[in-house]
Chain A
Amino acid sequence: MRAPDTRAGGAAGLPPALPGLDPAWSRLVAVADSSGAKHTWHVLDNGVRDPVGTLLCVHGNPTWSYLWRRLLAAAPPGWRVVAPDHLGMGFSDRPPGPRSLRQRIADLGDLTAALGVTGPVVTVGHDWGGVISLGWALAHRQDLRGVVLANTAVAMPEGDLGPALIRMANAPGVRAAVTVGTPVFVRATTALSRPALPADVRRAFAAPYRSPARRRSVGDFVADIPFSPGHPSRPVQEAVAEGIRTLDVPALLLWGPRDPVFGERYLADLRSRLPQARLHRYEGASHLLPEDAPRYAGAVAQWVTDLGTGTAEPPDRPAGDAARRLWSALDERSDDDAPAVVEVGGTTVSWSALARRVRDLAAGLAASGVRPGHRVALLVEPSADLTAAVYAVWRAGAVVVVADKGLGFAGMRRALRSASVDSVIGSRPGLAAARLMGLPGSRTAAGRASRAALRALGAAATLDELEARGRSAPVPAECPVDDDCAVLFTSGATGPAKGVVYTHRQAAAQLELVRATYGLTADDRLVAAFAPFAILGPALGIGSAVPDVDVTAPGSLTAAALADAAAAVDATVVFASPAALRRVGATAGDLSSGQRGALAGVRLLMSAGAPVPASLLRSLQEVLPAADAHTPYGMTEVLPVTDVSLAGIEAAGEGEGVCVGAPLPGVTVRVSPLSPEGTADGPLTDRPGVVGEVCVRAAHVKDRYDALWALERSASRDPGFHRTGDVGHLDPDGRLWIEGRLQHVVPTASGPVTPVGVEQRVERVDGVTAAAAVGVGPPGAQVVVLVVVPSEGSPGRRRRRLGLAGPDLAEAVRAAAGVDVAAVLTASALPVDIRHQSKVDRGEVASRAARVLAGARAPRP
């Protein structure tokens, strides 16, 4: 395959056949520039006539319009997509001299005029194409309907010298010798992609830049970036950067956070100039976002389609009255000397002391510059300090950002960086981690620290110092109930953890529902061994104890530690994850009679975070004899959705999946039926027995996903409802049964198969202790495979690798499964998630099974 650019000359031409590029899109257009000189442009154009709108896509350096091929392929109905190669770039003419930013903006205007592009237009820009696209936008305001930007910059943030990589490409000597003289810069750009690009796509990007003559504009482009104040293009760049503050059209920012060229500070700069912008961060993606996150094309198509419908109607969703604020109980009990928060083996804080501390700390935070709406990351272990800090941040009108250690360091780093925090409150290890994570913003230290230690951690003050300062400062006004109050993160068991934003109204509604569902009153006392609930005692209006264990490490809670915590507050309620309860059950033998007495006072046991087997709840009756065992069902995005007691589980009996009970008052549950390919596309229904994605409407559903516009759009595509990603059905009595995760549905030729019911039946087979039902093969034609863990002593030795089950075990599993089973494999254990240590990673099981069942790899003939 010979590309036309192997000719030494500079004339425009059509690109050769390249992967993903429809030759019908390519056209050559001759356009006279402002000096009257004619240049031929190469343009990708889907050629839609009388379009409802036009997407004008502007590439950066050193790419070309090939970057936008997926957007042309995914164009929404009626939309024209036009993607030119800049003059001197791609397959356009190579004009004699360099072209300045001013000239390029004018060139683009000449081209769109020649192409007959009229409004409405949405500009789309990547890299330095961002500035040019915005320059065009400012010059065509009457036609402009929106702007989309991906990994770009319009200005260098103050004190910034510009991206290091670009500066290097422009360094004296480097530009001529390397950037133009060799293909290194061109190839280096496509080498930035994460995951790595296929070789044929990298070749396609390099196709128009094969000789130094063809690459001259690549160097000119770099030289035209106004790094220094005296640069001739600086005034134009600054005019664009300032001008976009006045744009009143919708904006969409698509960002690859692994970009070594345009880092977080450029994103922050863009958001400050375009405050109306929606943002989607594609975790894992780098600089070449359109390559690294091919889903971007669908997101842009959805966004421009939404522009057309222009529905601003608020979704039909109940709103909580927020009669009580998160700190109301603190106000009401400010004279109460009963314990509010007890650290077992540490401090006890009374309601009056906590109320005073929160008020003073809130005033201190405000005095130190924390403003309403600011985001404050809390890197403090569950403790009295953490509780005080959370309520003080709320009282100051700011937003708490909480990522627990279960995400691992890399996961926490990704999560906290995505939340664009304004400041950090941390214990010493927390602040050290914040530094390693490169989190922005000011620092406050929890606990005692010397001045030297504070300096080393970059902290301006300790919490105690802020509290002292706050005693003489005004208490901030209460923030409006519809302001954000928290950013939490999903477990990250299935991909990067997702940020979830709640408003005060939604959080208040959640607490009100929890209070009403479990009949909590001021006479109750809580032991919270479940991370998010460890800090919610004061908001629930009940005293709470935090056990002397790492509540973010499931499995570290012993029966004795639980009993000590219960004794410390004379507990009536225990909330713990199933993993924690398993350990409690296993260590019950170590309890003293005094400890047993403390646990005998507990009237209510709640467990959530992962599926809670009835057998586990039953086994705890011996430890917590007076406790009514309940398990609420829900997720980070909405909790609780339903609740079921042990008695309720037993009454429901066996069925397809796990019975999680009936929706709680004010909660509406519907399912979106599954298609044969295993997607949930059907209209919402509450018809009993219909299997589909569980969708929830309630006052306490999250406000939105954070910095994940496309996900939010998709999860809330049924107005008022949140799509949970769980699959299940409602029964004739209105109870909800959960059958697995949507991405674990096995789309077989005879319809979708959900895993949980099959696994439950197989786990009842003698000799099987655990089972995972997964699919192998292409969607729609998959077959079901069961991977089982045989119990000790049963035939088949323990093995790490998956192996074929023997004929008898295979037959027993097939007979129990209730669906056609292609193969039965054995394993010594199933892979589980890190955070809960209880959710089976079916994706991993499926890929291992697929490898084994593919058989041997044949030698090349």
Chain B
Amino acid sequence: MRVLVTGASGMLGRATATGLLERGDEVTVLQRRPSGLPCREVLGDVADPAVVGRAVRGQDAVLHLAAKVDVTGPWAEYVAANVDGTRTVVDACRTADVGRLVHVSSPSVAHAGTALAGVVAGPADPARARGRYARTKAVAELDALAADSSALAVLAVRPHLVWGPGDTQLVGRIVERARTGRLPVIGSGAALIDTTYVDNAAAALVAAVDACGPVHGEALVVSNGEPRPVAEVIGRLCRAAGVPAPRRRVPFGAAYAVGAAVEGVWAVTGRRQVPPITRFLAEQLATAHWFDQRRTRTALGWRPRVGLEEGFARLRNWYLRTAPAT
């Protein structure tokens, strides 16, 4: 099968493209910078119709991961990358007669800040989603699913809190802050959260490329299906990285207030570095969000192969091997 993967430079995109290559698919990747993957590569902006059109032509399926995942930056950049980028990909799929589009989304598109306990994927809600990333991703998912038709099967997949060796987003930031003592436990630390080990998320996306067609027009959350209290998850990640787990506690209300202040300062001053806390982050660290995986597993014919324990062990090995470099 010929498959285009957009956004293959990130941890998940790279792992997924590798998974497709390993099983013998003809893979093209599209991102700004060279990925180093042993496959055809198109470099450029995912919102550029000419670049995307070139990459999409002749494909059987498109797996669209490219997105701006940051927590800061101007609204316009999120819109360009997440909304315009997705529209460009959808249009290109239509023009090039590609039959399947797997749109990679995020559970945050349907998370309005309240506790989610064992829920299925709710509809994306741009008005209530929290933060620029989640809101633009919500718009993008609605656009993508709206394009679902007999000619183009569209499936939205939302991997939840992906982590693993080499992760600079979630694990990298947590470990860095814990190392410098800037990572408190927010609230009780008891909120149950689901996470996804990267190999499981990649396998789910590969499965989604195959399932897309018979399964279409819906959104599926992907996770390990092993929710744990947030303090425990962070503690285990820290332990794997060989840094002390956070002990200091900050009440949720205080963290939320500081997050609001920080967002204000960042907005006024136009700072670009990663802020210490945002309201979105405070909520994510203090409110339950875990998901009913039954529909996802049936629809994709997939199950996570790497359990949490095994994932933590692999992360530990990776840190042991790379410790001198970090």
Using a CB–CB distance below 8 Å, which chain A residues touch chain B? 749, 776-778, 780-783, 803-804, 807, 810, 820, 822-823, 825, 850, 852-859, 861
CB distance from A471 to the nearest CB of B (A): 70
Contacts of B235 in A (CB 8 A): 807
Determine which of B228, B253, B286 lies in contact with A822 in the assembled complex, contact meaning CB atoms within 8 Å. B228
- Given A804-B229, A856-B287, A858-B113, are A777 and B118 also a contact pair (CB < 8 Å)? yes
CB distance from B240 to the nearest CB of A (A): 13
Q: A781 and B287: CB pair below 8 A? A: no
Per the bound structure, the CA–CA distance linking A858 and B113 in Å amounts to: 6
B133 part of interface (Cβ distance < 8 Å): no
Determine which of A783, A823, A852, A857 lies in contact with B118 in the assembled complex, contact meaning CB atoms within 8 Å. A783
B232 part of interface (Cβ distance < 8 Å): yes
CB distance from B261 to the nearest CB of A (A): 14
Measured as residues with beta carbon below 8 angstroms from the partner, the interface class of chain B is: 35 or more
Per the bound structure, the CA–CA distance linking A856 and B227 in Å amounts to: 16
CB distance from A434 to the nearest CB of B (A): 47
Per the bound structure, the CA–CA distance linking A780 and B206 in Å amounts to: 26
Q: B293 and A749: CB pair below 8 A? A: yes
Determine which of A823, A850, A852, A859 lies in contact with B256 in the assembled complex, contact meaning CB atoms within 8 Å. A859
With both beta carbons as reference points, the residue of chain A lying nearest to B255 in the complex is identified as: A856
B290 part of interface (Cβ distance < 8 Å): yes
B225 part of interface (Cβ distance < 8 Å): yes
Q: A853 and B288: CB pair below 8 A? A: yes
Per the bound structure, the CA–CA distance linking A809 and B128 in Å amounts to: 39
Q: Which of B1-9, B184-192, B207-215 contacts A (4 or more CB under 8 A)?
A: B184-192
Q: B113 and A853: CB pair below 8 A? A: no
Contacts of B229 in A (CB 8 A): 804, 823, 853
Q: A854 and B191: CB pair below 8 A? A: yes
B114 part of interface (Cβ distance < 8 Å): yes
B43 part of interface (Cβ distance < 8 Å): no
- Given A749-B292, A804-B232, are A823 and B192 also a contact pair (CB < 8 Å)? yes
B130 part of interface (Cβ distance < 8 Å): yes
Q: B293 and A783: CB pair below 8 A? A: no
Residue contacts A-B, CB under 8 angstroms, 12 given: A749-B225, A777-B118, A777-B292, A783-B290, A822-B227, A854-B117, A854-B191, A855-B190, A855-B192, A856-B186, A859-B253, A861-B130
CB distance from A571 to the nearest CB of B (A): 52
With both beta carbons as reference points, the residue of chain B lying nearest to A783 in the complex is identified as: B227
Per the bound structure, the CA–CA distance linking A825 and B191 in Å amounts to: 12
- Given A780-B294, A854-B191, A856-B187, are A807 and B232 also a contact pair (CB < 8 Å)? yes
17 extra interface residue pairs, beta carbon distance < 8 Å, beyond A777-B118, A781-B118: A776-B117, A781-B294, A804-B190, A822-B226, A823-B190, A823-B192, A852-B190, A853-B191, A854-B117, A854-B288, A855-B191, A856-B186, A856-B187, A856-B188, A858-B286, A859-B253, A861-B128
B323 part of interface (Cβ distance < 8 Å): no
Contacts of B297 in A (CB 8 A): 749
With both beta carbons as reference points, the residue of chain B lying nearest to A850 in the complex is identified as: B117
Q: A854 and B115: CB pair below 8 A? A: yes
CB distance from B116 to the nearest CB of A (A): 9
Chain B 145-193 residues near chain A, CB threshold 8 A: 186-192
Per the bound structure, the CA–CA distance linking A786 and B231 in Å amounts to: 16
Per the bound structure, the CA–CA distance linking A199 and B128 in Å amounts to: 25
Contacts of A857 in B (CB 8 A): 114-115, 287
Chain B 111-154 residues near chain A, CB threshold 8 A: 112-115, 117-119, 128, 130
Contacts of A859 in B (CB 8 A): 253, 256
Contacts of B287 in A (CB 8 A): 854-858
Determine which of B113, B118, B225, B288 lies in contact with A778 in the assembled complex, contact meaning CB atoms within 8 Å. B118
Per the bound structure, the CA–CA distance linking A564 and B232 in Å amounts to: 55
Contacts of B226 in A (CB 8 A): 820, 822
Q: B286 and A823: CB pair below 8 A? A: no
Contacts of A823 in B (CB 8 A): 190, 192, 227-229, 232
Per the bound structure, the CA–CA distance linking A781 and B292 in Å amounts to: 5
B84 part of interface (Cβ distance < 8 Å): no
Q: A855 and B230: CB pair below 8 A? A: yes
Determine which of A778, A820, A822, A855 lies in contact with B115 in the assembled complex, contact meaning CB atoms within 8 Å. A855
B283 part of interface (Cβ distance < 8 Å): yes
B252 part of interface (Cβ distance < 8 Å): yes
With both beta carbons as reference points, the residue of chain B lying nearest to A781 in the complex is identified as: B292
Contacts of A810 in B (CB 8 A): 232
- Given A804-B190, A852-B188, A858-B113, are A778 and B292 also a contact pair (CB < 8 Å)? yes
Q: A853 and B293: CB pair below 8 A? A: no
Contacts of A856 in B (CB 8 A): 186-188, 191, 252-253, 283, 286-287
Contacts of A783 in B (CB 8 A): 118, 192, 227, 290
Mark contacts of B278-303 with chain A using CB atoms, 8 A cut-off: 1 yes-contact digit, 0 otherwise. Answer: 00000100111010111001000000
Contacts of B186 in A (CB 8 A): 856
With both beta carbons as reference points, the residue of chain B lying nearest to A779 in the complex is identified as: B118
CB distance from B289 to the nearest CB of A (A): 9
Contacts of B227 in A (CB 8 A): 783, 822-823
Determine which of A778, A853, A861 lies in contact with B192 in the assembled complex, contact meaning CB atoms within 8 Å. A853
With both beta carbons as reference points, the residue of chain A lying nearest to B119 in the complex is identified as: A778
Chain B 239-263 residues near chain A, CB threshold 8 A: 245, 252-253, 256
Chain B 195-235 residues near chain A, CB threshold 8 A: 225-232, 235
Per the bound structure, the CA–CA distance linking A804 and B231 in Å amounts to: 9
Q: Which of A749, A781, A807, A822 has the most chain B CB within a 10 Å cutoff?
A: A781
With both beta carbons as reference points, the residue of chain B lying nearest to A749 in the complex is identified as: B294
Per the bound structure, the CA–CA distance linking A246 and B245 in Å amounts to: 79
Per the bound structure, the CA–CA distance linking A855 and B113 in Å amounts to: 11
Per the bound structure, the CA–CA distance linking A857 and B115 in Å amounts to: 7
Q: B286 and A855: CB pair below 8 A? A: yes
CB distance from B224 to the nearest CB of A (A): 10
Per the bound structure, the CA–CA distance linking A379 and B128 in Å amounts to: 60
Contacts of B188 in A (CB 8 A): 803-804, 852, 855-856
Determine which of B112, B118, B253, B283 lies in contact with A782 in the assembled complex, contact meaning CB atoms within 8 Å. B118
Q: B190 and A781: CB pair below 8 A? A: no
CB distance from A818 to the nearest CB of B (A): 15
Per the bound structure, the CA–CA distance linking A803 and B231 in Å amounts to: 12
CB distance from A437 to the nearest CB of B (A): 41
Contacts of B294 in A (CB 8 A): 749, 780-781
Per the bound structure, the CA–CA distance linking A513 and B102 in Å amounts to: 67
CB distance from A567 to the nearest CB of B (A): 55
With both beta carbons as reference points, the residue of chain B lying nearest to A775 in the complex is identified as: B118
With both beta carbons as reference points, the residue of chain A lying nearest to B292 in the complex is identified as: A781
Contacts of B228 in A (CB 8 A): 822-823
Contacts of A804 in B (CB 8 A): 188-190, 229, 231-232
CB distance from A810 to the nearest CB of B (A): 7
Contacts of A803 in B (CB 8 A): 188, 190
- Given A749-B225, A804-B188, A856-B191, are A861 and B231 also a contact pair (CB < 8 Å)? no
Q: Which of A854, A855, A859, A861 has the most chain B CB within a 10 Å cutoff?
A: A855
Per the bound structure, the CA–CA distance linking A855 and B185 in Å amounts to: 12
